[in-house]
Amino acid sequence: MSDTPVQTRKTQSRNDRVVARWLWDGFIRKRLHFIALAVLFMVIEAAMMGAFSYLVQPMFDDVLVEGERARVVFVALAMALVFFGRALARLVHKSIMAWQAERAMAELQGDLLAHLSTLDQAFFKLHAPGILIERVRGDSIAMIMVFNGLITGAGRDGAAVIVLLGVALWTDWQWTLAAIAAIPVVVVPILALQRFIRRRSREARLAAADSSNRLDEAFHGIATIQLTGTERQELGRFRQIMETFARKATRAAVGQASVSTVMDFAAALGFALVLIVGGFQIIEGTRTVGQFMSFFTALGLLFDPMRRLSALSAEWQNILASLERTHGLLQVVPKVVSPPMPAATPPARDAARVELRDVSFGYDDTPVLRGLSLVAEAGQTTAIVGPSGAGKTTIFTLLTRLADVQSGQVLIGDQDVRDYDLAELRALFSVVSQDTALFDETIRDNVTLGAGEVSEAALQAALDDAHVTDFLPNLPDGLDTLAGPRGSSLSGGQRQRVAIARALLRNAPILLLDEATSALDAKSELLVQDALDRLAQGRTTLVIAHRLSTVRRADKIVVMDRGRVVEQGTHDELLAQGGAYARLYAIQFGQDEQEDQANSP
C-alpha cells in the first residue's frame, strides 16, 4: 500500500532534517567564526539603513519645513556617512561569504570525487559519466547558494527587518501594526508554494543531469557523429532534452517569483492602510510630515528584506532539491572494501598463482560467469580466448576487486582476494588494455602514474624497454609533452607503449593484458608485442585476445564460452582436439588467407 500524503510529508520532513544536519556538521559549523564576522558587518549594514530612515525626519521637519540652516550640514554629513558605512559593510561581508562559499563547494566536490572513487564497477555501469559530472558539479553549486543566498540573506535581511521594524515602532506603533496586518494572510499560500518549488526544482535537477550526460556522449563520440552525418539528429536530441529542462526550470523559477509576488500583495495592503491612517493624522496636525516620511521610508525599506526573507524559504526548497541528491550520493555504500583485519599477505613474485574456483557473477539479472574455474600458474602466461560476451574481461574485474564474486572464490597465492587489503591487492597488478587510460598530463606523469618516486635511471629503462624513446624526439616537448584529453595527442601505438612503460615501472608480479595490440597496425603491433614480451618475463601473465596469432606461445590457453571454460591446453593440444579453439583458429586464419589472396597481385 502506498504512503498517504501525510506520511510522505513526514518522511520528507525527516529527510530534510537529516540533510540539514549533514550540511551543518560538515560545512557550516567549522566556518562559524567567519560567518559570525560576516554577520557582524551585515548588522552594521542594517543599522545604516535604520539610521537613514531615522534621519529622514529631521531632514523634512528641521531642514525642509522649518528651514534651520544649522541643521543642513549636519544632516548632509550624517547621510553621507550612512551611505559610506553601508557600502563598506556590504563589501566586507560579501567578500567573506563568497570566500567561504567557494571553499565549501570545492570541499564538497572533493568529497564527492573521493567517495565515488571507492565505488565498484557495477555502480558506474548504472550511472553514466555525464550524469555523475552533473551530480558533482551542478548539484554542488547549491553550496554557493547556501552561503551567498541563504546565510547572507538570513543575516543581512533578518538584521534589516529588526532594525527597520524598530525604527517604525519608535515612530508610531499603530502605523506599524496597520502596515503588517496583512502578513498572516499570506502564510498559507507561501507554504503551498514551497512544496511546489521543491518538486519542480528536483525535476529541473534531473533534467540538467540528462543534458550533461547527452553533452558528454556527444563530445566523446564527436568523430562518429561527424562520420555518420548525424549532427542534426544529435542536435535534435539535445534540444529536446534542453526544452524539457527549460520547461521544468521555468516552473521552479515562476514558483520562486510567486513568493515575492504574494508578499507584494501584503505590502500593497499595508502601505494603503498606513497612508489612510497617517494621512488623516497629518491633516489633523497630530503627526508631522517628517514623522510620516521617516516611517514611510523605514516601511519601504522594510518590505524589501521581508520579501527576500520570504523568498528564502523558496530558495531553501531549491537548495534542498540539490543537496538531498548530493547527500544521497554520499550515502551509497561501497560494496568492495578492505577487510577490517586483512588476513592475506602479498605473495612473492614466484608464488603469484591465480585461481578462480566455481565463480559466478553477473550485473543485475544478467549472468556473466557461470561456475567458472581456471588456474594461471605463477611465472607463466595464460591466454583467455572466446567470443565476445564470454566473460573474459570480467575475470580481470574480479581479480582486481573492481567488483566481487557472487559465489565461488578468487585466489592469488592461494589466498582469497577478499582477505587482502584493497590497496595491497591492486598493487599486485599491472594492466595494459586496448582502451589505454591516459590523462591530459605530460608523458612523464602518465608513465610514472602510481609508481611513487622513480629514479631517472629506472624511468629511462622503462621508456627504452617500452619503445617510448623511439617517438619522443618527434614530440614538441619530449617527455614533458602533454598527452591530450584521453591521450588524443598520441597515436594508438604510442598510447600503448606509454601504458607498457607505466606497467614496467609499476613492476607488479601479475600482468593483465586485455586486447593490448588488437587496434594497432602491423608495425606498431610488432613494437608493442616486443615490449609486452619483455614486460611478461618472470611475471604471472593473463592475456585476453581475440586474435589467436598473439597467444600461440602461451603456456596455457583457456577457451571460454557463455561464462564457462570449455577447453584448455597449449596451442598444439587444442588444435589436435579439434574443438572450439580449432574452429576459431580455422575461421580466423581462413579469413587471413582470403585477405592475403585478395591483396596479392
How do strand 354-363 and strand 407-412 relate by DSSP bridges?
antiparallel
Compare 137 and 187 and report the one with higher pLDDT. Answer: 137
Express each pLDDT in 547-600 by its tens digit. 777 788 888 999 988 888 898 988 888 888 888 888 888 887 764 444 443 444
Express each pLDDT in 60-117 by its tens digit. 665 555 556 656 666 677 777 877 888 888 889 889 888 988 888 888 888 888 888 8
CA pair distance 372, 370, nearest whole angstrom:
6
Least confident of 143-157, 240-254, 333-347, 552-566: 240-254
Cα-trace Rg, the chain: 35
Sheet with 540-544: strands ordered across: 429-433, 510-514, 540-544, 381-385, 556-561, 564-569
CA pair distance 512, 3, nearest whole angstrom:
51
The pLDDT assigned to 477 comes to: 85
* Segment 357-366 mean pLDDT: 84
CA pair distance 85, 45, nearest whole angstrom:
7
The pLDDT assigned to 487 comes to: 77
Question: What letter would DSSP give residue 547?
Answer: -
Q: State the pLDDT confidence band at 520, using cuts at 50, 70 and 90.
A: low
Express each pLDDT in 256-289 by its tens digit. 666 666 666 666 666 666 666 666 666 666 666 6
* Segment 359-376 mean pLDDT: 86
* Segment 28-41 mean pLDDT: 91
Grid coordinates representing 476 are: 614538441
* Residue-by-residue DSSP string for 442-489: BHHHHHSTT--S--HHHHHHHHHHTT-TTTGGGSTTGGGSB--GGGTT
Least confident of 7-11, 295-299, 525-529: 7-11
- CATH topology of 28-330 equal to that of 350-428+510-516+534-593? no
Question: What are the CA-CA distances from residue 337 to residues 342, 421, 430, 508 (Å)?
Answer: 11, 8, 20, 21
Grid coordinates representing 399 are: 581479480
Residue 321 pLDDT greater than 90, yes or no: no
**Which of 15-24, 48-57, 79-88 is most confident?**
15-24
**Buried b / exposed e across 306-343, counting CB within 10 Å, b at 16+?**
bbbbbbbbbbbbbbbbbbbbbbebeeeeeebebeeebe
Residue 37 pLDDT greater than 90, yes or no: yes
Which residue's entry shows cell 547621510? 79
* Residue-by-residue DSSP string for 335-386: SS---SS----PPPGGG--EEEEEEEEEETTEEEEEEEEEEE-TTSEEEEE-
Which residue's entry shows cell 558539479? 137
Whether the CB-CB separation of 357 and 363 falls below 8 Å is answered with no
Grid coordinates representing 540 are: 604471472
CA pair distance 99, 63, nearest whole angstrom:
44
Express each pLDDT in 332-352 by its tens digit. 888 888 888 888 888 888 888
Express each pLDDT in 406-415 by its tens digit. 899 999 999 9
Grid coordinates representing 452 are: 611513487
CA pair distance 329, 386, nearest whole angstrom:
37
In three-state secondary structure terms, 556 is: strand
In three-state secondary structure terms, 368 is: strand
Q: State the pLDDT confidence band at 495, using cuts at 50, 70 and 90.
A: confident
CA pair distance 394, 383, nearest whole angstrom:
14
**Residue 278: other Cβ atoms inside 10 A:** 25
Residue 6 pLDDT greater than 60, yes or no: no
CA pair distance 525, 38, nearest whole angstrom:
63
The pLDDT assigned to 62 comes to: 58
The helix (run of H) or strand (run of E) holding residue 517 is none
Considering the segment(s) 350-428+510-516+534-593 as one domain, its CATH architecture is 3-Layer(aba) Sandwich (3.40)
What would the CATH number be for the domain defined by 28-330? 1.20.1560.10
Considering the segment(s) 434-507 as one domain, its CATH architecture is 3-Layer(aba) Sandwich (3.40)
Compare 250 and 93 and report the one with higher pLDDT. Answer: 93
CA pair distance 553, 530, nearest whole angstrom:
13
CA pair distance 146, 448, nearest whole angstrom:
40
The pLDDT assigned to 595 comes to: 44
Express each pLDDT in 435-453 by its tens digit. 777 888 888 888 888 777 8
Domain regions of the chain by residue span? 28-330, 350-428+510-516+534-593, 434-507
CB within 8 Å of 417: residues ≥ 6 apart: 344, 398, 399, 401, 410, 411, 425
Q: What is the pTM of this model?
A: 0.70
The pLDDT assigned to 408 comes to: 92
Burial class (CB in 10 A: 0-12, 13-18, 19+), 163: buried
The pLDDT assigned to 409 comes to: 92
Give percent of the chain above pLDDT 70: 74
CB within 8 Å of 373: residues ≥ 6 apart: 355, 356, 357, 358, 359, 565
The pLDDT assigned to 600 comes to: 43
CA pair distance 228, 209, nearest whole angstrom:
26
Residue 491 pLDDT greater than 70, yes or no: yes
CB within 8 Å of 10: residues ≥ 6 apart: none
The closest alpha carbon to 409, from 364, 355, 366, belongs to 355
Compare 181 and 152 and report the one with higher pLDDT. Answer: 152
Q: State the pLDDT confidence band at 389, using cuts at 50, 70 and 90.
A: confident
Question: What letter would DSSP give residue 570?
Answer: -
Q: State the pLDDT confidence band at 125, using cuts at 50, 70 and 90.
A: confident
Whether the CB-CB separation of 324 and 183 falls below 8 Å is answered with no
Q: State the pLDDT confidence band at 20, using cuts at 50, 70 and 90.
A: confident
Please give the mean pLDDT across all residues of the chain: 78
CB within 8 Å of 375: residues ≥ 6 apart: 353, 354, 355, 356, 382
Residue 4 pLDDT greater than 60, yes or no: no
